[in-house]
Structure 1
Amino acid sequence: MECLRNYLNKKTTQEQKRFASNCGTTIGYLRTAINMGKELGPELSVRIEFESCGEVTRQMLHPNNFLKKWPELANTENKAVNE
């Protein structure tokens, strides 16, 4: 989740709010999830990947169980390494 924190920290407060809204959530929820180490749901993770233009991927958000959630993506590059 550090990847999501870093991504959000590069944005202004308004950009963070807009990003979260485009993902179907709030910046408060995202910050709470990051700070508490809460796993994000699959749908939200896909929206984050899409809205971040791939800067924050599902692999990054779910490094330990990515293939269980998205087995069809087994042959994609795993960008979760140290992120």
Structure 2
Amino acid sequence: MERLRRYLNSLSRADQDDYARRCHTTVGYLRKALSTKPSLDGALARALDEESSGFVRREELRPDIWPELIEAEHA
């Protein structure tokens, strides 16, 4: 979740809104998720990864879904 926080903080407010919209969510939801740390939906984790060009990593948000990506990184 720390990468998501850093990514959001690096964007202007308008760009945050655009990023969230492209991921089919809201900045408010993402900020709440950062503070409560729920298990994000897999589709949302994938969209956050893809729309950030890989900065926000899906396997860090949901290692239970993509363990092979974590293993490949450490190989």
Who is 1:81 aligned against? none
Name the TM-score, length of structure 1 as normaliser: 0.78
User: 1:76: how far off?
Assistant: 2.9
User: How many pairs does the alignment contain?
Assistant: 74
Unaligned 5+ residue runs, structure 1?
A: 79-83
Question: How far apart, CA to CA, are the structure 1 residues paired with 2:35 and 2:70?
Answer: 29
How do 1:3-82 residues align onto structure 2 when only pairs under 5 Å count? 3-62=3-62, 66=63, 68-70=64-66, 73=69, 76-77=72-73
Distance of 2:71 and 2:54 partners within structure 1 = 16
Identity among equivalent positions (%) equals: 41
Gaps of 5+ in 2: none
- Could you give the per-residue CA deviations for residues 22-63 of structure 1, whole angstroms, max 9, x where no partner exists? 00100000001111111211000000000000001112213x
Two-structure CA RMSD over aligned residues (Å): 1.7
CA distance in 1, matches of 2:39, 2:10: 22
